[in-house]
Amino acid sequence: MEGQSAKGAIVNSLQAAKRKSGKSYGQIAVETGLTNVYVAQLLRRQAQLSPETAPKIRSALPDLPEEHLQEMMRPPFRSYDPNLIQEPSVYRLNEAVMHFGESIKEIINEEFGDGM
């Protein structure tokens, strides 16, 4: 299991490759056939890159180190920073989930059953 400092270094390198490309998450998403949120998750090591998608990411971000591309194909190391809730956008998203959560859960159960 990778440590927080190792993950942080990889995430910094992934973000640097994105910045160097000058592309937005949306632009990379269009080039790769992924969603912008999934691209952001990949570049924060919060999701796993499939081998089939790796060439598309390589093409969209040519400065991405090969070892980091390989790292992205490993299972992600999901984590939670408790200080993140202090960030205003995240705080408001959390507030929206708290406000609408029960209704959303009820609709999910009605539409898809209680298998979530």
Q: Is the pLDDT of residue 4 over 80?
A: no
Question: ∠ CA 35-49-16 to the nearest 5 degrees?
Answer: 80
Residue written as token pair 């009820």: 106
What is the C-alpha to C-alpha distance for residues 48 and 37, in angstroms, rounded to an integer? 13
Structure-token pair, residue 114: 């209680």
How much is the pTM?
A: 0.73
Output the CA torsion sign for 47, 50, 56, 59.
positive
What is the C-alpha to C-alpha distance for residues 4 and 87, in angstroms, rounded to an integer? 20
Task: Give the pLDDT band of residue 116 (cuts 50, 70, 90).
Answer: low
- H helix and E strand count, the chain: 6, 0
At 2 the pLDDT is: 47
Which residue segments constitute the domains of the chain, with CATH numbers given?
Answer: 4-72 (1.10.260.40), 82-112 (no CATH)
At 111 the pLDDT is: 85
Task: Give the pLDDT band of residue 3 (cuts 50, 70, 90).
Answer: low
pLDDT tens digits, 34-78: 999 999 999 999 999 999 999 999 999 999 999 999 999 999 877
What is the C-alpha to C-alpha distance for residues 32 and 58, in angstroms, rounded to an integer? 9
